[in-house]
Structure 1
Amino acid sequence: MDEIRELIERWVAAVHAGDLATVLADHSEDIVMFDVPPPYDGVRGLAAYEETWPGFFEWQATGASFELVSLEITAGSDVAFAFALLKCGMPDETADRRLRLTIGLRKLDGRWTVTHEHHSFPHDEIPSPVGESAVREVLDDWTTKTAAGDLDGLMGSIAPDVVSYEHAGPLQYAGRDAVREVCAEGLKTPATFTTPDHTIIARNDLAVAWGIDHVTAETDDGRVESESRATRVFRHGPEGWQLIHQHLSFPR
């Protein structure tokens, strides 16, 4: 396994140095590489593998890192595989970001030869259906929290930097504390709040929801029902999906 470790460490150093001859050494003519960029069915053959490196070397030369963090190897008599994590990126990207690497090797003519490489970064995008479902849960939770008069619960999905255009009052309410005051005033009157027909579109960490808000308030003068237009923007972060902007209005 020492031979394989030295081979991989030599390859990593060559990638970082832009040493193409050493990068290609110890690779089979029929190598298959699944790389971060396309093609999705892989880069096949040593000539195609060679063509992938010049652009990467240019990027490396701008100050990027390519450094082993961990390496584990399992070897049989003539077949082996290794998996590793590497720092790969510019200095402001590599604190937590890791390139994942799996290497397959065969022993050919008495020496270990790389026949397969798989490079990837974790896919951290949020699938649209997942984001849309989560935002719908936020809206449904507002219905529950409003009925319960739970002001603290309502604030859990409001971002600190939220900006809200309300039906009345000043031009805008900026910040969670300002929006909390609006919600606190509204909860003084028992009410139900529903968003049954809202459309939600989510792309990665941003989502937009729009539709008609339905509010029924139990006042001293009896039940008052109202409908208003609402557009809301949500952002996903460490605290989950939170409202960063809403625009409410009545037609005039």
Structure 2
Amino acid sequence: IVLWPEDVNFIVYKEIIYDKMFWISYTNTLFYTVFGTMWSMLISVTGAYALSKKKLVGQRMFNFLVVFTMWFSAGMIPLFLNYKGMGVDNRWGMVIAFGVQAYNIILLRNYFTGVPKEIEEAAIVDGANEFQILTKIYLPMSKAALATVTLFYATSRWNGYYWSRMLLRGAHQQPLQVYLRQLHENYQKLVEYGSDVTIPYAADSLIYAIIICSIIPILIIYPYIQKYFVKGVNLGGVKE
């Protein structure tokens, strides 16, 4: 049994290297992932911190409203019309409009609730304000939850397809997943209608090669935060 395949070549990867649209979409995906994750974490951390405070006026109502969004959605057409009306059909719009996921806020809120109140009270006695309490007490003590939620947001942004396909019209704005889908559709049309163009490799090989390239960043990042993953989900999910 020979495990190494015969006639191995990397011609499809050469095609990728010289494919301008691949690099444009790859850069767009990096942009959406990096800035989108930063924005999502900013909103989620500050929101979860506020919701974890019993002294917050209307805390129960705000918590209910966050959970309510997980049960009911406005529907595709109303959301599409609202996003179009707000001008979310551009790169920064895609970053800002899809900034929060209710589950991640709840996960962080539950984790923040478990931070000992004695430490916070001691900081208040020493003159610390809310921002200092958040950044110097809550965040350092919540590394597992923060790493877990960051992974959730990053993978969600990296794999983003649906709303990018719906809202972004310019090819120069499309992320990698949309480009991959369009590439697959183009090859299907070539097979269905026939073409005089000779391709020196199987049509699916290019798609598979792009998939390999697309998962490399996640494969690099995941091992570094894997140790926080299970701990963050468990501790954030069992608190009241």
Q: TM-score, normalised by structure 1?
A: 0.22
Larger Rg: 1
Higher relative contact order (CA 8 A, sep 6+): 2
Q: TM-score, normalised by structure 2?
A: 0.23
